[in-house]
């Protein structure tokens, strides 16, 4: 997958401890996972550790010799097979996920893991505290955790029948979210836009597609949609027990950085009496079922 | 009354219900339907009180025929009343679900007219959801005590989880405060739900296909602090419920005063949140850590410490079993070390195959050394610079919240605890 945005420390910069012991070459690649597999394949075959792995289209001044690695699907596939054969299938999965994280210099960290893994084989995956393993596990834990949070915290707006959401994650969570949302809403069209990485996930009647898009701004909501937002805000406010007010606990579970995109924290707009939720379905949601009796 | 006002009233009336979880069931999506469920559940938000919001938690109606003293919806209470129509509630659920506000519906109800009529309304709502919308998301329904067994059965084939509220932790408290509900009316349906779940599982094995009954199991909840039962009694009750009725969860709800009544704590009483917290911690130890209720408390000591959690408490009282050598201790014992959780214990087992672990490694494996350091050795050595002065140990074992409370004790909550006793117990045993 292509990584165009600069996430917090992602994709660039040097890991000093690796750079100092490593060689004097900086590899340049195209920012895709296949591209990184090619870098790994070449570097591991030559047995030399690079000083850095950087994105080719972010020309940087460096005092090291640079070497551009062209992405080659065949080499990428071979390297992936090698990882599975010499370390394990789980190791390939770990590396794929680590690539989606915001770990600083994640390319070098991945390469260091592979280098030791090629030497030691599958047992490396059990060395949870090794310096080549622990940082990847921690970063992937962070990614998994963030994706888990977004599974719940994503808010869709119904804009002309399509469900639309914008998020700002630290890690690239969309590939992890795709199976969940496409599976859950097999008859809907939905779009999640990741503003941090300028990436999107489009699920169209159960089929998912990941891609990149420089900008995206959702259109204005109609009153029907605004009514549902107001209903959710009312519910959110009513469900808290005042005597148990505990803002720190809430923040611990749901840090403030998520709030921006969550309906319950948006400014409240009026509930439009005349344009109630009736549009929603065959049933008349406004009508009171007579059998229930004198509720009002 | 408009739908927004109804929602406000009926969410407000449901807010003291605690079981807002959506766990215990894996069910994928399917073409032509909407929704799915995943075993661990999912929190969609957290309310201002820090509690997880997973389901649309509302009452069908708060119009009630009963007059239970502890309940905000009691007949004699002068509050605004409202009722959803089944269609309204189903529509609201679907529209909230599409927007990813919720994982499903948690519907309970006051007793309108009688238990059967109330249950019929719940059934109709769930039928619209399941049959018209092909909703595959999570549904938790409250069984209404006293309803006909056949209605309960129908409710159970539509809902994923059923619960019957045990309400109060003893029969005498129930008689005193909820004269319209009897012990039989609560345990009767609980037993029937258990049987229903088992029968549907057996039928599924036998015939390969059978209507699923409450496939995410059943749970219950009780109110803590409205009546005089001790922590020990409550935990013994929970243990019995887990065993006898195969409950998935028992929930505890700190009593928030909603009425002035000679049989209840006065209206300015604070909800006993710390007590509720300790009971949840202990409940966790019963379900995942292999503890028995009688190991944690007994006739002589019927309440948990306000300062340290039940696991630390237990460990301090069993110092003869510690310290454990991390590189040799069996899994069951690692689980009993304060600061080591289920995940941590499993990681230790895996990692120590590849080499002997030291304290630095433990930290990387996610062990909380602040607490664990007093109970472990690595390579037969204690943690370098370990301070075993009683005050230091006590501080190490207390959570940050407790430490704050220790410096400025709010009189009520800490009255059960005598700090000196703890200091003594530690000095004697370390």
B298 touches chain A (CB under 8 A): no
> Alpha helices, DSSP H only, in A205-253?
223-239, 247-253
The complex's ipTM works out to 0.85
Domain ranges of chain B: 3-216, 310-429
Q: Distance from A69 to chain B by nearest Cα, in Å?
A: 35
Q: Distance from B401 to chain A by nearest Cα, in Å?
A: 11
Task: From first to last of the 430 residues of chain B, give the pLDDT tens digit.
Answer: 899 999 999 999 999 887 778 888 999 999 999 999 998 889 999 999 999 999 999 999 999 999 988 888 999 999 999 999 999 999 999 999 999 999 999 999 999 999 999 999 999 999 999 999 999 999 999 999 889 999 999 999 999 999 998 888 898 898 888 888 888 888 999 999 999 999 998 998 888 877 889 999 999 999 999 999 999 999 999 999 999 999 999 999 999 888 888 888 988 888 898 999 999 999 999 999 999 999 999 999 999 998 899 999 999 889 999 999 999 999 999 999 999 999 999 999 999 998 999 999 999 999 999 999 999 999 999 999 888 887 788 888 887 777 666 554 443 333 333 444 443 333 333 2
Q: Distance from B34 to chain A by nearest Cα, in Å?
A: 5
What's the mean per-residue pLDDT of chain A?
85
pLDDT at B391: 77
Domain ranges of chain A: 16-144, 154-219, 221-281
Q: In chain A, pLDDT over 70 holds for what percent of residues?
A: 83
B343 touches chain A (CB under 8 A): no
Select from B7, B45, B86 the Cβ nearest to the Cβ of A264. Answer: B45
Using CB atoms and an 8 Å cut-off, which of residues 23-42 of chain A contact chain B? Answer: none
pLDDT at A273: 63
A288 touches chain B (CB under 8 A): yes
pLDDT at B407: 56
Select from A165, A234, A286 the Cβ nearest to the Cβ of B7. Answer: A234
Chain A residues lying within 8 Å of B88, measured CB to CB: 283, 285, 287, 289
Q: Do B50 and A244 touch (CB under 8 A)?
A: yes
B90 touches chain A (CB under 8 A): yes
Q: Is the pLDDT of residue A295 over 50?
A: no
Q: Is the pLDDT of residue A217 over 60?
A: yes
Q: Do A295 and B83 touch (CB under 8 A)?
A: yes
Chain B residues lying within 8 Å of A295, measured CB to CB: 1, 6, 61, 63, 81-83
- Which of the residues B1, B2, B4 would you substitute to probe the A interface, choosing the one with the greatest number of A C-beta atoms within 10 Å? B4
Chain A residues lying within 8 Å of B118, measured CB to CB: none
Nearest residue on chain A to B5, alpha-carbon basis: A234
pLDDT at B397: 87
- Which of the residues A129, A260, A281 would you substitute to probe the B interface, choosing the one with the greatest number of B C-beta atoms within 10 Å? A129
B129 touches chain A (CB under 8 A): no
Q: Do B85 and A155 touch (CB under 8 A)?
A: no
A279-294 average pLDDT score = 35
Model confidence band, residue A291 (pLDDT cutoffs 50, 70, 90) = very low
Q: Which helix (H) or strand (E) holds A193?
A: strand A189-194
Select from B1, B101, B254 the Cβ nearest to the Cβ of A295. Answer: B1
pLDDT at B1: 86
A184 touches chain B (CB under 8 A): yes
Q: Do A236 and B45 touch (CB under 8 A)?
A: yes
Select from A234, A276, A292 the Cβ nearest to the Cβ of B8. Answer: A234
- Which of the residues A133, A152, A165, A181 would you substitute to probe the B interface, choosing the one with the greatest number of B C-beta atoms within 10 Å? A152
Q: Encode pLDDT of A227-283 as tens digits.
A: 999 999 999 999 999 888 999 989 999 999 999 999 999 988 877 765 444 443 333
pLDDT at A85: 97
Nearest residue on chain B to A152, alpha-carbon basis: B44
Q: Do B45 and A240 touch (CB under 8 A)?
A: no
B351 touches chain A (CB under 8 A): yes
Select from A158, A231, A248 the Cβ nearest to the Cβ of B98. Answer: A158
Chain B residues lying within 8 Å of A230, measured CB to CB: 4
* A94: nearest Cα among A77, A106, A78: A106
Nearest residue on chain A to B64, alpha-carbon basis: A295
- Alpha-carbon span B106 to B352, nearest angstrom: 44
Q: HEC states along chain B?
A: CCHHHHHHHHHHCCCCCCCCCCCCCCECCCCCCECCECCCCCCCEECCCCCEECCEEEECECCCCCCCCCCCCCCCCCCCCCECCHHHHHHHHHHHHHCCCCCEEEEECCCCCCHHHHHHHHHHHHHHHHHHCCECCEEEEECCCCCCHHHHHHHHHHCCEEECCCECCCHHHHHHHCCCCCHHHHHHHHHHHHHHHHHHHHHHHHHCCCCCCCCCCEEEEEEECCCCCCHHHHHHHHHHHHHHHCCCEEEEEECCCCCCCCCCCCCCCCCCHHHHHHHHHHHHHHHHCCCCHHHHCCCCCCCCCCCCCHHHHHHHCCHHHCCEECCCCCHHHHCCCCCCCHHHHHHHHHHHHHCCCCHHHHHHCCCCHHHHHHHEEECCECCCCCCCCHHHHHHHHCCHHHHHHHHCCCHHHHCCCCHHHHHHHHHHHC
Q: Distance from A145 to chain B by nearest Cα, in Å?
A: 12
Q: Do A238 and B7 touch (CB under 8 A)?
A: yes
Strands A207-212 and A199-204: antiparallel
pLDDT at B406: 59
A36-63 average pLDDT score = 87
Chain B residues lying within 8 Å of A186, measured CB to CB: 29-34
Nearest residue on chain B to A154, alpha-carbon basis: B100
B401 touches chain A (CB under 8 A): no
Nearest residue on chain A to B258, alpha-carbon basis: A243
Q: Distance from B128 to chain A by nearest Cα, in Å?
A: 10
Q: Please give the structure tokens belonging to residue A33.
A: 């996972």
Model confidence band, residue A286 (pLDDT cutoffs 50, 70, 90) = very low
Q: Which residue has the tokens 């836009």?
A: A193
A213-224 average pLDDT score = 94
Model confidence band, residue A289 (pLDDT cutoffs 50, 70, 90) = very low
Q: Distance from A49 to chain B by nearest Cα, in Å?
A: 25
Chain A residues lying within 8 Å of B43, measured CB to CB: 152, 253
Chain A residues lying within 8 Å of B100, measured CB to CB: 152, 154-156, 165
């Amino acid at each position: 997958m292509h990584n165009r945005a600069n996430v917090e420390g992602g994709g660039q910069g040097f890991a000093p401890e690796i750079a100092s012991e490593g060689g004097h070459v900086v590899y340049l690649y195209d920012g895709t996972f296949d591209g990184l597999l090619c870098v790994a394949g070449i570097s591991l075959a030559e047995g030399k550790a690079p000083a850095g792995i950087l994105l080719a289209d972010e020309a940087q001044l460096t005092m090291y010799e640079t070497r551009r690695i062209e992405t080659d699907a065949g080499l990428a596939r071979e390297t992936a097979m090698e990882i599975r054969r010499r370390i394990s299938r789980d190791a390939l999965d770990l590396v794929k996920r680590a690539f989606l994280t915001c770990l600083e210099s994640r390319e070098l960290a991945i390469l260091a893991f592979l280098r030791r893994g090629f030497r030691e084989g599958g047992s490396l995956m059990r060395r949870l505290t090794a310096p080549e393993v622990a940082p990847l596990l921690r970063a992937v834990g962070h990614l998994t955790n963030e994706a888990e949070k977004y599974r719940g915290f994503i808010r869709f707006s119904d804009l002309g029948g399509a469900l639309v959401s914008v998020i700002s994650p630290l890690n690239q969570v969309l590939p992890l979210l795709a199976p969940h949302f496409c599976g859950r809403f097999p008859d809907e069209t939905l779009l999640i836009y990741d503003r941090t990485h300028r990436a999107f996930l489009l699920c169209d009647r159960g089929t998912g597609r990941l891609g990149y898009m420089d900008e995206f701004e959702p259109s204005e909501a109609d009153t029907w949609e605004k009514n549902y937002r107001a209903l959710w805000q009312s519910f959110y406010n009513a469900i808290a027990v005042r005597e148990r007010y505990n803002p720190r606990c809430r923040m611990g579970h749901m840090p403030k950085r998520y709030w921006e995109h969550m309906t319950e924290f948006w400014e409240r707009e009026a509930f439009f009496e005349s344009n109630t939720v009736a549009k929603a379905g065959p049933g008349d949601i406004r009508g009171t079922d007579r059998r229930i009796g004198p509720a009002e | 009354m408009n739908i927004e006002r109804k929602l406000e009233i009926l969410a407000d009336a449901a807010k003291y219900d605690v079981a807002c979880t959506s766990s215990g069931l894996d069910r994928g999506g399917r073409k032509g339907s909407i929704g799915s469920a995943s075993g661990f559940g999912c929190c969609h938000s957290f309310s201002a009180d820090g509690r997880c919001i997973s389901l649309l938690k509302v009452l069908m109606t708060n119009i009630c025929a009963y007059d239970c003293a502890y309940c905000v919806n009691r007949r004699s209470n002068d509050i605004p009343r409202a009722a959803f129509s089944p269609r309204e509630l189903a529509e609201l659920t679907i529209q909230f679900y599409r927007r990813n506000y919720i994982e499903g519906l948690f519907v309970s109800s006051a007793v309108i007219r009688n238990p059967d009529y109330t249950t019929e309304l719940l059934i109709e709502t769930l039928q619209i959801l399941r049959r018209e919308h092909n909703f595959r998301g999570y549904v938790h329904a409250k069984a209404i005590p006293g309803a006909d067994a056949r209605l309960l059965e129908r409710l159970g084939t539509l809902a994923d989880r059923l619960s019957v509220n045990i309400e109060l932790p003893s029969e005498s408290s129930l008689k005193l405060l909820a004269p319209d509900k009897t012990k039989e009316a609560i345990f009767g349906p609980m037993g029937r739900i258990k049987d229903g779940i088992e029968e549907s599982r057996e039928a599924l094995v036998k015939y390969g296909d059978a209507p699923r009954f409450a496939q995410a199991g059943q749970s219950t909840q009780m109110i803590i602090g409205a009546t005089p039962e001790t922590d020990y009694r409550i935990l013994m009750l929970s243990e019995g419920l887990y065993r006898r009725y195969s409950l998935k969860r028992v929930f505890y709800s700190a009593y928030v005063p909603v009425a002035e009544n000679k049989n209840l704590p006065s209206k300015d009483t604070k909800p006993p949140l710390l007590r509720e917290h300790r009971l949840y911690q202990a409940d966790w130890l019963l379900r995942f850590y292999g503890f028995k209720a009688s190991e944690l408390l007994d006739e002589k000591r019927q309440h948990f410490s306000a300062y340290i959690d039940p696991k630390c408490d237990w460990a301090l009282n069993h110092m003869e079993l510690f310290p454990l050598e991390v590189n040799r201790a069996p899994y069951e014992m690692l689980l009993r070390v304060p600061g080591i959780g289920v995940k941590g214990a499993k990681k230790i087992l895996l990692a120590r195959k590849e080499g002997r672990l030291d304290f630095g490694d433990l930290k990387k494996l996610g062990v909380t050394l602040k607490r664990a350091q007093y109970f472990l050795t690595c390579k037969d050595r204690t943690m370098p610079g370990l301070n075993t002065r009683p005050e230091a140990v006590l501080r190490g074992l207390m959570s940050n919240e407790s430490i704050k409370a220790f410096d400025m004790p709010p009189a009520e909550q800490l009255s059960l605890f005598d700090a000196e006793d703890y200091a003594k117990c530690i000095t004697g045993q370390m």
